[in-house]
């Protein structure tokens, strides 16, 4: 099976390396510099004291014929718009899997002509070291759920066992994405503002208090999730990824744009539309936006 992976960031490199063990993978990137490095040096994955390189065919996204059996879209939500334009020109029978954080992109991807769309929730910890190397910080799993359609390509993907890289199919994409959203909201903004690793949040009573209040605000916005996810599950994830620096913290440290809009911005719009009061969420949003602006020169 031929798989295309759009995006040469941490998740794109991680997926390219692991999926190439079982499938014919092509990594699709925007920059010539990254294209040349990956084609020459391969994709190196580092985990604990091990290092392994997989040689993966790489193409410029703009020049690819996009003749794949399946495409993963592994760019951040704020870079999604031009990708969606490109995807409208691909064959509608190709299943598309979207790996973005938050929920802000779901309605937009539904406008694509493709018969089969899936949402993905990635629980691995990954850090891009450079254009051709990724550090696998924590082994998790990838959850997939159909937004619409069905596909034999997805069945083939699921039956292939890849060590340290499980892929599971979930029944309800909305609940799956909301569970991931709860995790992102309770971890990413706080770690990026405080400059701490995930494990410090439940260990510091002040951070823990804010997390609990955030959890209550999320339950106001999504009352049907009360029996679907519990606060202790978030704390367990903080502990299991205690040494990880969240993706938003890494973006702040490297003075890049964050995903605060798709993680909190979309929720604030929902709160305003439904006349809900979510002061903690609003404060964290403004703080991250302010820090982001300072890092980018105001």
Q: What is the CATH number of the domain that holds 48?
A: 3.40.50.720
Q: Is 156 exposed, middle or buried (0-12, 13-18, 19+ CB in 10 A)?
A: middle
Answer with the one of 171, 203, 230 that is the final residue of a domain.
Answer: 171
Report how far Cα 187 is from the mean position of its chain's Cα atoms.
14
* Helix ranges restricted to H, 127-256: 152-159, 173-194, 200-203, 205-221, 231-240, 247-253
Model pTM score: 0.91
- Asked if residue 156 and residue 106 are part of one domain, the reply reads yes
Instruction: Return the CATH number at 259.
Output: 1.10.1040.10
Is residue 156 situated within a structural domain?
Answer: yes
Q: Catalytic site residue 180?
A: yes
Q: Which of 37, 76, 179, 180 is catalytic?
A: 180
Answer with the one of 156, 171, 186 that is the final residue of a domain.
Answer: 171
Is residue 298 situated within a structural domain?
Answer: no
- Asked if residue 35 and residue 127 are part of one domain, the reply reads yes
Domain count, the chain: 2
- Asked if residue 282 and residue 180 are part of one domain, the reply reads yes
Q: In which domain, by residue range, is 44 found? A: 2-171
Give the pLDDT of the chain (298 residues) as one tens digit per residue.
999 999 999 999 999 999 999 999 999 999 999 999 999 999 999 998 899 999 999 999 998 999 999 999 999 999 999 999 999 999 999 999 999 988 889 999 999 999 999 999 998 889 899 999 999 988 889 999 999 999 999 999 999 999 999 999 999 999 999 999 999 999 999 999 999 999 999 999 999 999 999 999 999 999 999 999 999 999 999 998 888 889 999 999 999 999 999 899 999 999 999 999 999 999 999 999 999 999 876 6
Answer with the one of 152, 171, 190 that is the final residue of a domain.
Answer: 171
φ and ψ at 187, to 5 degrees?
A: -115, -55
């Amino acid at each position: 099976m031929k798989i295309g992976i759009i995006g040469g960031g941490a998740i794109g490199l991680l997926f390219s390396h692991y999926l190439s063990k079982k499938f014919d993978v092509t990594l699709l990137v925007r920059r010539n510099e990254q294209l040349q490095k990956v084609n020459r040096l391969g994709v190196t994955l580092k985990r604990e004291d091990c290092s392994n390189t997989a040689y993966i065919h790489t193409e410029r996204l703009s020049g690819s014929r996009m003749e794949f059996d399946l495409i993963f879209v592994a760019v951040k939500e704020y870079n999604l718009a031009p990708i969606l334009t490109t995807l409208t020109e691909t064959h509608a029978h190709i299943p598309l899997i979207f790996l973005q954080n938050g929920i802000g992109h779901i309605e937009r991807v539904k406008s694509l002509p493709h018969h089969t769309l899936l949402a993905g929730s990635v629980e691995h910890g990954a850090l891009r070291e450079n254009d051709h190397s990724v550090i696998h910080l924590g082994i998790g799993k990838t959850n997939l759920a159909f937004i619409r359609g069905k596909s034999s390509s997805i069945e083939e993907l699921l039956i292939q066992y890849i060590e340290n890289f499980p892929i599971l199919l979930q029944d309800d994409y909305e609940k799956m994405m909301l569970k991931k959203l709860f995790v992102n909201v309770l971890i990413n903004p706080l770690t990026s503002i405080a400059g701490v690793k995930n494990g410090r949040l439940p260990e510091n009573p002040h951070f823990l208090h804010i997390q609990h209040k955030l959890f209550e605000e999320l339950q106001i916005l999504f009352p049907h999730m009360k029996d679907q996810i519990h606060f202790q599950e978030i704390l367990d994830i903080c502990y299991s990824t205690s040494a990880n620096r969240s993706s938003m913290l890494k973006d702040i440290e490297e003075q890049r744009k964050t995903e605060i809009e798709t993680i909190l911005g979309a929720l604030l719009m929902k709160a305003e539309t439904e006349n809900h009061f979510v002061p903690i969420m609003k404060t964290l949003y403004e703080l991250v936006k302010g820090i982001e602006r300072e890092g980018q020169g105001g």
